[in-house]
């Protein structure tokens, strides 16, 4: 049996009292590919960040070549032969391949270049050092990242969703390279959401759910169905669907589906293709899927942040294909982004400004009315139970849940007919999560059409009247009413039919 390169033994990690990893143990041997599979938020990235020295564990031990180590910085991990190839390659586009490769090496020059050239020749990789990085495909950029690691004598590579942006031909090329690396004794942690890839490229598989390893072992001992079982909560894994109930804030959709509030006809863009959807007034349409499914890309393109390459978007009876976000808002479509820190809030502005900034034109004729602005802000603070010391409290000083409610207030102040929520409860506590559910329920009862994008499958089950499961950029299956069940959703989201 090949020697262990890395042994992770009973590692736990928490953030702000939230336990993210729970006594995780995992072993990687030379020439093995361990596929690490789990839903969004399962703890995969946290575990790999511990292994690469970005985070330190709260408890547990890590051994490299049988020796216990403390990986307190990425440089220490590199020195121990551990290298992470990120999901999005981080190359400087206006520099050449070689200039990107030699960055970070204290000693470069002819010797390093010769080593790189020998590696590229042995692995038969299509890399020309003089090419500008912006001329490389994503697959070629990943090869540059892998080469960086090999030149640091990496014997443990971590590949994070490496095929999420690759074509079929590029995936075949990457798998060929992985097999060649295995032949050189390199061990690989391979993070993926695509269960078919587990059986194509991995020697071992490990399922991480809610911060725990639920299944692990050689790939030949698993099927797609047994892997999927490890991804499901304990009660649902045994078929007990009573574990997942609809939220008390929601009620079954009873409206007749006649005229759609939002219609997508054959829309395609970066990360999604051929999407046909009808969203009706007074219903919550859930969109389930994992990283790389194309959910956020679809929402942003419909709203006008991203671009559509084909298809048509209709809001009521108006064609809004290609409209700007400002025009979409004016016509009745609004979007609550996943990353509120980047796109949703003005951290150094006060609560009042954050709530009213989207409707300043409506609050004034020639000059802004401070009285109207304060009245609107107070109304949303009371309605959504936002905990603030006053209208002038800076948003950065609010809790995550209250910041999210401020974002919702600003969006709803525009009086939309259709609202797209992208991960609305991400990073909020249990109390604020309940308030968000209540708000969604109230919007539904008022006749708004709600699109709910969430990585929390239980949340999708609890809130949705219909659910679209996306996989690899396409609609894999549509569930309606009583068809909505956690095990079926999970199977569709992971591409298991």
Can you give the pLDDT at residue 247? 53
CA atoms within 13 A on the CB side of 118: 8
Task: Return all residues near 15 (Cβ < 8 A) that are at least 6 apart.
Answer: none
Beta pairing, strands 212-218 & 272-279: unpaired
CB-CB contact of 35 with 205 (8 Å): yes
Radius of gyration of the chain (CA): 25
Cβ 435 vs Cβ 385: under 8 Å: yes
3-class secondary structure, 227: helix
Mean pLDDT by 10-residue block, N- to C-terminus, for the chain (497 residues)?
A: 88 86 94 89 87 93 93 91 82 90 79 87 84 86 85 87 74 85 91 88 92 92 87 55 46 63 94 94 93 88 92 94 90 80 57 64 54 70 74 71 75 84 75 79 89 88 93 92 87 82
In the chain, CATH 3.40.50.300 sits at 4-231, 262-493
Residue 168 is predicted with a pLDDT of: 73
The two tokens of residue 167 are: 């074509």
Assign domain 262-493 one CATH number from 3.30.70.420, 3.40.50.300, 3.40.50.1100, 3.40.50.2300.
3.40.50.300
Pick the CATH number of 4-231 from 3.20.190.10, 1.10.10.350, 3.40.50.300, 3.30.1600.10: 3.40.50.300
> What is the pLDDT at residue 374?
73
């Amino acid at each position: 049996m090949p020697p262990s390169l890395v042994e992770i033994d009973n590692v736990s990690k928490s953030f702000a009292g939230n336990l993210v990893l729970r006594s995780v143990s995992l072993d990687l041997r030379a020439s093995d590919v361990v596929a690490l599979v789990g839903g969004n938020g399962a703890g995969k990235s946290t575990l790999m960040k511990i292994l690469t020295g970005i985070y330190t564990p709260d408890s547990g031990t890590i051994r490299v070549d049988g020796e216990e180590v403390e990986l307190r910085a990425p440089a220490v991990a590199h020195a121990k032969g551990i290298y992470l190839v990120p999901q999005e390659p981080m190359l400087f586009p206006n520099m050449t391949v070689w200039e990107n490769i030699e960055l970070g090496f204290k000693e470069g020059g002819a010797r390093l270049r010769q080593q790189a050239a020998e590696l590229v020749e042995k692995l038969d990789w299509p890399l020309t050092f003089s090419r500008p990085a912006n001329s490389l495909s994503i697959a070629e950029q990943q090869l540059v990242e892998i080469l960086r690691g090999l030149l640091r004598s990496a014997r443990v590579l971590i590949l994070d969703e490496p095929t999420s942006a690759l074509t079929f031909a590029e995936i075949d090329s990457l798998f060929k390279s992985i097999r060649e690396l295995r032949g050189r004794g390199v061990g690989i942690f391979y993070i993926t959401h695509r269960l078919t890839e587990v059986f194509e490229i991995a020697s071992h598989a490990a399922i991480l759910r809610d911060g725990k390893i639920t299944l692990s072992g050689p790939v030949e001992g698993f099927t797609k169905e047994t892997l999927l079982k490890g991804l499901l909560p304990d009660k649902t894994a045994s078929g007990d669907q009573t574990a997942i109930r609809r939220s008390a804030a929601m009620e079954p959709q009873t409206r007749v589906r006649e005229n759609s509030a939002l219609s997508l006809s054959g829309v395609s863009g970066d990360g999604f293709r051929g999407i046909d959807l009808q969203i009706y007034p007074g219903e919550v349409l859930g969109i389930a899927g994992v990283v790389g499914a194309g959910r956020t890309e679809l929402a942003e393109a419909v709203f006008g942040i991203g671009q559509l390459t084909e298809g048509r978007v209709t809001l009521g009876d108006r064609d809004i294909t290609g409209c700007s976000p400002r025009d979409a808002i004016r016509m009745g479509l609004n979007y609550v982004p996943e990353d509120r820190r980047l796109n949703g809030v003005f951290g150094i502005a006060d609560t009042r400004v954050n709530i009213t900034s989207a409707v300043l034109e409506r609050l004034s004729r020639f000059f802004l009315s401070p009285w109207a602005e304060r009245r609107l802000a107070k109304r949303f603070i009371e309605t959504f139970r936002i905990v603030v010391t006053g209208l002038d409290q800076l948003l950065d000083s609010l809790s995550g849940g209250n910041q999210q409610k401020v974002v919702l207030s600003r969006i709803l102040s525009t009086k939309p007919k259709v609202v797209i929520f992208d991960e609305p409860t991400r990073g909020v506590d249990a109390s604020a999560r309940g308030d968000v559910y209540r708000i969604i329920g109230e919007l539904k009862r008022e006749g708004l059409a709600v699109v709910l994008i969430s990585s929390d499958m239980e949340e999708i089950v609890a809130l949705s009247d219909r659910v679209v499961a996306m996989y690899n950029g396409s609609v894999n299956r549509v569930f309606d009413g009583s068809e909505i069940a956690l095990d079926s959703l999970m199977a569709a989201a992971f591409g298991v039919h």
